[in-house]
Structures are given as C-alpha cells and as structure tokens.
Amino acid sequence: MKKPSSLIDVARRAKVNISTVSRTINQTGKIGAETQARVMKAMRELGYKPNRVARRLRARDASTHLLGLIIPNIQNIFFADLARGVEDVAYKNNYAVLLCNYDEDEAKERFYLDVLQSESVDGIILPPIHETDPAVLQVVRNGTPVVCVDRSLSSGNLDKVEVDNHTGALKAVEHIIAKGHRRIGLIGGPADSSTGRERLRGYKDAHAKAGLPLKPELMRFGDYKQDSGETIAQELLTLPDPPTALFVCNGLMTAGALETIAALGLKIPKQIALVGFDELLLADVFNPPLTLVRQPAYEVGKSAAELLLKRIEDPARPATSLKLLPELIIRKSC
C-alpha cells in the first residue's frame, strides 16, 4: 500500500509552502507564473492527486461535483432508464453520480442516505420509499438538496418529478373497457406506494366512468417484481369465473403475467387481453405486440437531474413540481 503523495510532498519538491500549491491547484489567489510552473512540474512528477476526503473535511461546502441517486431496484428497466437520464445530464454538467440500489429495503435506504450525506454529495435524487419518510426529511433539513422522482413525499416543499400515474392507468383501463371487456383483472402495485395507489385509482375511476362495478376478487396487489406478476396471474386466471382482460401495473409483473399466460396456453388477446405498465424490451415484436403504458423514464431522470442542478446553484429557488404524461401505446394485446 503505497502512500499517495500529498500537498506536503509537492510543496517540498517545489520548494514552496503547501498553501501555494493549494492555490495553484484551485486557481485561487495570486501566484507568480514561474512558481506555478514549478509547482505543476512537481505535481506531474509525483503523480499527485488531491485527496477528496481531506478537501471535503476542510470545506464542507466545497462542491465535489457529485450527485447521489438512490433507486429501489436496478433490475427494473424503468429505473435503469431513469438512471441513464440522470447520468446523461449530470455528465454533461461535469457531475458524476453515485448510484445506490436499496431493493425496497428501508434500512438499506437509510444506510445509503447516510453514506451519501457523509460523502457530502452535492444533491440526491430518489423515489422515497413512502410518503412520510423521516430519513429523507432529515436529509432535507440538513440542507442537502433533494429531488424526489416517481413517488412523492407528502411534506410539500421539495422539487419533484413524477409520472401522471392516474391518467396513465385511467386511459389504459378505459381502452380495455372500450374493447368490450367487463371483467378486468388488476395486478396492482404495493398499497403503500403512491404509484400503486394512483394506478389503482385510475383503474377504479375508469370503472366508475363506465358504470362498471368493481369486483374485489379480481383486484390483487403485488410487489412490482416478476414473481408476483406470475403468481397473481395464476390466481386470477384459474378463478372459476376468470377475468377476460388483465391490467398489470408495472413492467416486471407484466413479464411475469406473460409467463403464466404462456404456461396456461392462453391466447392473447382472444382468451385473455392484456395491457401493462412500462415499456418492455421487445414489446413491439412480441407476439402479439403488447399494448402498454409507456412511462417516460429517461425524461423523468433527465428532468430530475436538471432540477437538482438548478437547486444546487440556487438553494433558495422555489420548489418545482413536474408531472410527466405517460403514453398509451396501443398494439395488439388488447
């Protein structure tokens, strides 16, 4: 473990004081051209790299050009796309982003929040695990810029960018109803997530508008992972009086549902119609091509990062709240 060279080493080699070295590095203060050259040379020769830890310890407010992004599940393409959106604008502005995958685990979320904070990132983007997330609130109170994505935080004054889940679900279910379906199975999201609830509301409202009664036995709730889509579809489709259409509330669960539909040998859309949430790889070349609600995941990430950068620049600016519209892509599965 070779000890890396420090300011002191550079200073010694260039025969100046460490403050001079620091100042030439940061372009702060007046330093003679000749001295600067000598310092630069010494730095090059020693392969000097500033120690970010020390730098941040000294100056808590020294920008590290580092963003934190905390996501529930990296295997969910929605979040991967979102992450890319964040990445791209961050990088364009010379920021790097530290990604943390908390796997819907509250303790883990808290841990990462801690880490990012104590790494002094300039700001954090995350979907709060639920509406009143005290850990997140604490971070906000500490003065770290935070922007919420996808899910919201009840406590008002935060920048956030969400998808209009209610409208998305409403349109989807209205489309299903327009296709003549009356028994529409719901594979919903977790009840304690705002996205889950909003999509459920869309499902309900579509029924109400069409004067269709809700059938509780057709409404089940998963955890946004593939397995639960598979299991719930199994339950629903083996009911004595099964639904004729399925509305599945996210991409992974849609994949799961498709697995059981295939296992059951059901034909889409004749025997069972299907509309899913989230775009899926290959959805348009699937057989039949899948009708689904495309969420602008990349754009969510992009906007969030832009908002965050603005806030970092001007912490006093009023909070902006964006709501992006999802798009119902009608193909052949319903």
What residues make contact with DNA under the rule CB under 7 A?
3-4, 6-8, 15-20, 22-23, 25-26, 28-36, 48-51, 54-55, 57-60, 62
CB of 20 to DNA, least distance (A): 3
32 binds, among a second copy, DNA, none (CB under 5 to 8 A by kind): DNA
Is 262 an interacting residue with respect to a second copy (CB under 8 A)? yes
One character per residue 83-102, x = contact with a second copy (rule: CB under 8 A) = xx--x---x----xxxxxx-
Peptide bond into 269 cis (omega under 30): yes
Nearer to DNA, 8 or 214 (CB): 8
Phi, psi of 222, rounded to the nearest 5 degrees: -110, -165
Instruction: Name the residue type at position 312.
Output: I
Segment interacting with a second copy (CB under 8 A) among 22-30, 181-189, 199-207, 285-293: 285-293
The stretches of the chain forming alpha helices (DSSP H) are 7-14, 18-26, 33-46, 52-58, 77-92, 106-118, 134-141, 165-178, 194-209, 226-237, 251-264, 297-313
Contact of 175 with 275, CB cutoff 8 Å? yes
What DSSP state is assigned to residue 191?
Answer: T
Is 281 an interacting residue with respect to a second copy (CB under 8 A)? yes
Q: 217 by DSSP, 3-state: which?
A: helix
Residue choice 18, 25, 40, 74 for contact with a second copy (CB under 8 A): 74
Who contacts 242 (Cβ-Cβ below 8 Å, separation ≥6)?
183, 185, 236, 272
84 binds, among DNA, a second copy, none (CB under 5 to 8 A by kind): a second copy
Site residues (vs a second copy, CB under 8 A):
1-2, 4, 49-54, 56-57, 61, 66, 74-75, 77, 80-81, 83-84, 87, 91, 96-101, 103, 108, 111-112, 114-115, 118-120, 141-143, 255, 258-259, 261-262, 280-282, 284-287, 315
